[in-house]
Amino acid sequence: MPGWHIGVIGGSGLYEPGALEDAQQIAVKSAFGEPSGPVTTGKIGEVKFTFIARHGEGHVHSPSRVNYRANIDVLKRCGVTDVLAISAIGSLQEKLAPGEFVAVDQFIDRTAGRERSFFGDGIVAHVPLADPVCPRLSDYAAKAAKKAGAKVQKGGTYIAIEGPQFSTRAESHLYRQWGADVIGMTAMPEARLAREAELPYALMAMVTDYDCWRDPTEDVDVTDILKVMKENGERARAMLAELAAALPGERKASPIDTILDTSIITPREKWDIPAVTRLDAIAGRLIEIFPGPQD
């Protein structure tokens, strides 16, 4: 089996993946529009990493304006085997204090108006998403974060809101009633798209603050968030080094690697040529033998 190639989608305050050997910054075009920016690719130890800044260099893209499809498409074109997302989030639980990490395993999606699928125009696919996070990669990342000195909770439900505003106090209390543990603005549709791209996805969420449910008189303060983000960013970079050291030399196959085999519902003879062209990276494994237009 081929080795690991980890795609890292960096969240707020994390625009460098650490000490990459042979680092190269490359502009990669996507069939789904402009990605957030160029990728940086290189190695940490013996493992290849490709990094993209979710919000762009200098945090220029709001959560609603990030081209999630292009970002995942670009990582797929770079040949990544797995995707590790790193995001700043707010806490909805007393036990999750600022500075702690959460290896998220479930999502509640409250976003709206974002492109949620690569499919549907010429080729239709319905991927399963009951368990949206890859347990193998999530476990490796959680253990690496602990070795890097972070306090980590394994498992937790992330509620994704549209933003860019933070939630109201009433919303914050409602989300707690729903069973959400943390709140953020970017994990969806990112996780959905990674599954469609046959990329195992894990999310290491870094708690920067308590959401506004906790104090009846205070609101979320961006100044406090930025301070904690800087500290968390240092731990996250150390986590990547620990992850690289812990990954086995051989990457065993994941069921997610071939999820489209049982997800595409459109018969091959009905596949639309322009759709096939757009999906040359996302579904390239399946369309390599797709016949071109006849003369």
- Where do the structural domains in the chain lie, given as residue ranges? 5-250+259-281
Asked if pLDDT for residue 224 goes beyond 80, the answer is no
pLDDT level of residue 295 (50, 70, 90 thresholds): very low
Q: In this structure, are residues 147 and 242 in contact, taking their beta carbons and an 8 Å threshold?
A: yes
Share of the chain above pLDDT 90, in %: 77
Q: Which of 4-13, 155-164, 265-274 has the lowest mean pLDDT?
A: 4-13
How much is the pLDDT for 94?
Answer: 96
Cα separations in angstroms, 110 against 4, 88, 120, 171, 189: 32, 17, 21, 11, 10
Share of the chain above pLDDT 70, in %: 89
| pLDDT 10s digits, 166-184 | 999 999 999 999 999 999 9
| pLDDT 10s digits, 77-123 | 999 999 999 999 999 999 999 999 999 999 999 999 999 999 998 99
The one-letter amino acid code at 183 reads I
How much is the pLDDT for 59?
Answer: 83
How much is the pLDDT for 2?
Answer: 73
Question: d(Cα 288, Cα 268) in Å, to the nearest integer?
Answer: 12
Structure tokens at 206: 């870094």
| pLDDT 10s digits, 198-216 | 999 999 999 999 999 987 7
Q: In this structure, are residues 118 and 32 in contact, taking their beta carbons and an 8 Å threshold?
A: yes
Q: Which residues are catalytic?
A: 209, 211
| pLDDT 10s digits, 31-74 | 999 999 999 999 999 999 999 999 988 888 999 999 999 999 99
How much is the pLDDT for 13?
Answer: 45
Asked if pLDDT for residue 12 goes beyond 70, the answer is no
Q: In this structure, are residues 239 and 202 in contact, taking their beta carbons and an 8 Å threshold?
A: no
Per-residue DSSP letter, 180: -
CATH of 5-250+259-281, one of 3.40.50.620, 1.10.3720.10, 3.40.50.300, 3.40.50.1580: 3.40.50.1580
Give the mean pLDDT of the chain. 91
Contacts of 239 (CB under 8 A, 6+ apart): 141, 144, 145, 147, 148, 150, 204
